Amino acid sequence: MAVRTVRWLMNLSAKNSNPNHLNNLFFSWDLSLIETLRPLAHSFYLRSATKVAPELLGKGLYVRHKKKHFFCQIIEVEAYLGSTDPASHAFKGPTQRNRSMFEEGGTCYVYLSYGLNYCMNVVTDIEGKGSAVLIRSAVPLFGLKEIAKNRHISGPLDAKNIKNLLSGPGKLTQGLGIDRSFDGMRFDQDALKIVDLKYTVPKKQLGFSPRIGISKAKEKNLRFFIKGSEFLSRP
């Protein structure tokens, strides 16, 4: 099922895309199936952000918030390397804002960016390291209408609108109902989990580039994404 999702992702902009094709994709997922998916093993997160980040591509993210259920497939991430990375919130050490970054890998770190948008991160490595992976973009798989409602998008959910639902870190958190209440949670909870969809991104489809919207360490290729996807956020 995950392989079909990614193939659909690559071909969504084709002229023969149609609403029935889109509906078939989303209706192939149901809540009973999603709830049976086991969260990733704790050991997955206890590695460097540079190793965890590309392996998060293709994984499923489940969120339950205010009795609503959301499920999506991660397609774009960025790695932040803690005290050695001038672009990281952890560069100058722990603060009230970033304390979740210094928890053990598998913790959720949510912050408010420029007073406007929340951003969700997956903490990696051992406690005290301060490294994390920012989830930038995802493909919505379940809870489509509620995601659109959260994003204040009305009208038909055609290919153009679906591409825009979770195509950036602020859009992703808004669509999934993520706020600071998720900060400090772990990604193996009933209301928040990352799961294996049995999909590995082929090397030829794994893209990388400098991170977006930062002023320091701009030369580092720490943004990872699935090539060819029009869901990817733009600078």
Q: What is the pLDDT of residues 57-78, one digit of tens each?
A: 999 999 999 899 999 999 999 9
Whole-angstrom Cα distance, residue 206 to residue 208?
A: 7
pLDDT value at residue 3 = 45
- pLDDT(16) > 70: no
Provide the pLDDT confidence category of residue 19 given band limits of 50, 70 and 90: very low
Whole-angstrom Cα distance, residue 206 to residue 224?
A: 7
- pLDDT(79) > 70: yes
Nearest to 63 by CA among 122, 142, 160: 142
- pLDDT(90) > 70: yes
Mean pLDDT, range 147-163, rounded to an integer: 86
Provide the pLDDT confidence category of residue 154 given band limits of 50, 70 and 90: confident
The answer to whether the CB of 151 falls within 8 A of the CB of 173 is no
Could you identify the residue written with the tokens 């895309």? 17
Whole-angstrom Cα distance, residue 141 to residue 215?
A: 34
**Its pTM surpasses 0.85:** yes
Mean pLDDT, range 156-173, rounded to an integer: 89
Burial of 30 from C-beta contacts in 10 A (0-12 / 13-18 / 19+)? exposed
pLDDT value at residue 184 = 98
**Domains of the chain in sequence order:** 2-226 (3.10.300.10)
Q: How far apart are the first and last CA of the chain?
A: 31
pLDDT value at residue 232 = 67
Look up residue 82 and give its DSSP letter. G
Could you identify the residue written with the tokens 């002229």? 15
Whole-angstrom Cα distance, residue 168 to residue 156?
A: 21
The answer to whether the CB of 168 falls within 8 A of the CB of 232 is no
pLDDT value at residue 229 = 65
pLDDT value at residue 162 = 85
Please report which helix (H) or strand (E) contains residue 73, including its range: strand 68-80
Whole-angstrom Cα distance, residue 130 to residue 125?
A: 8
Provide the pLDDT confidence category of residue 156 given band limits of 50, 70 and 90: confident
pLDDT value at residue 60 = 96
Say what angle helices 19-27 and 2-11 make with each other, to 10 degrees. Answer: 160
Please report which helix (H) or strand (E) contains residue 202, including its range: none
- pLDDT(5) > 70: no
Q: Which residue has the higher pLDDT, 157 or 52?
A: 52
pLDDT value at residue 233 = 63
Mean residue pLDDT of the chain comes to 87
Please report which helix (H) or strand (E) contains residue 167, including its range: none
Provide the pLDDT confidence category of residue 115 given band limits of 50, 70 and 90: confident
- pLDDT(155) > 90: no
Whole-angstrom Cα distance, residue 116 to residue 26?
A: 30
